Chain A
Amino acid sequence: MQLHTLHCDSWVDNYTDYLYSFAFYKVGKKEEAEDLVQETFLSAYKNRESFNGAASEKTWLTAILKNKIIDYYRKPKLTDSFSSYLDQTEGSFDNSFFTADNYGRWTEEINENFFSKSPDNYLLGKEFQHFLSICLEKMPTKLRSIFVSKYIDDEKTENICKEHSITPSNYWVIIFRSKTLLRSCLEKKGIN
C-alpha cells in the first residue's frame, strides 16, 4: 500500500478554501470558521509526527477540523439554546407557511416549478448551484448548522444529534423547517 506524506508548506494553498467553507457552513460565522481552521492547522502542524499516511492529507485535516467543530458545539451555551430557539421561532415559521385554522395547510400552493421539472444536469449545473449557495447563506445559522451536516459529510442522524446534543424530534423539525425555507427561496430565484 502506498502511504501518503505530509507537505505542510502547501497546506494553506491546497486546503484552506475547503476547510474554511466546511467550517463556515457548519458554524455559520466567518470569524468562528477562521478560528476553527486556524486551530486545525496549528494542531495538525504540532501533531505532524503522528500522521501515519493511511489517509490522505485532506482527509486527515478534515478529521481534525471535525473534532474541533464537535468541541465547538460542546460549549454548553450553544447546545442549550437549540430547543428554546425552535420554540421561539415556531410561531413566525408557522405563520409564514401554514394556515392557522384547518390544522395547518400550506398557505401558498406548491405547484410544479422550474426545478421540479428540470433534469439532473441542470440541478448540478452552475446556475442552480449558485442559487443554492445564495439560499443557503440566507438560512438562519442555527438551522443551517444542523441541516448541512446531513449533506456535507454524509453523517448519520444519530451522530448529528449526539454531536449537537439535540433530540431526534428536534432534529426532524430543524430538517423540515430548513427544507421549507430553502425550497421557498429557490422557487423565488426561478421567478426573478
Chain B
Amino acid sequence: MSYLNRILNNCSEASLLALKSKEETLSFKQKFETRFHIYFCKCCKNFEKQSGKIDTSLKAFFKDIENKDVKASESFKNKMKELIK
C-alpha cells in the first residue's frame, strides 16, 4: 500500500516530471507513475494545463520583449551614444 500511497500523494514529484516529459523521454516507470497520479489528481491536472497556457504566453512575451515594461533608461542610451560615436 505504501507504494500506491506514494504515487497517489506525491504531487511535487508528479508535476515536476510532467513538465520534464514535455521535453524529455521519461523512463517507463516514471511515465507510468506520473500519468497514474495525474489521472486521479485534479490539482496536478490543472497545474499541467495551466503550465501549457503559461508557456504559450511566455513565448509571445519574449518574442516581443523590447516592447514590454522593462526598458533601458534614457540616460543609459545617451551614455551609449557617446561611447560609440
Contacts and interface: CB of A to CB of B under 8 A. Distances in A.
Contacts, number: 149
Contact of A38 (B5, B43, B70, B80): B80
Interface of B: 5-6, 9-13, 15-16, 19-20, 23-24, 42-44, 46-47, 49-51, 53-62, 65-72, 76-77, 79-81, 83-84
Interface range, A side:
35 or more
A3 interface: no
Interface of A: 8, 11-13, 16-18, 20-22, 24-25, 34, 37-38, 41-42, 45, 94, 97-98, 102-106, 109-113, 115-116, 118, 120, 123-124, 128-130, 132-134, 136-137, 148, 151-152, 157, 172-173, 175-176, 179-180, 182-183, 186
A21 B60 contact: no
A123 B71 contact: no
Most buried by A among B6, B53, B79: B53
A104 B11 contact: yes
A16 B46 contact: no
A111 to B, nearest CB: 6
B16 A123 contact: no
B70 A25 contact: yes
Given A16-B77, A21-B71, A183 B11 contact: no
Contacts of B72: 16-17, 20-21, 34, 37
A133 B61 contact: yes
A103 B77 contact: no
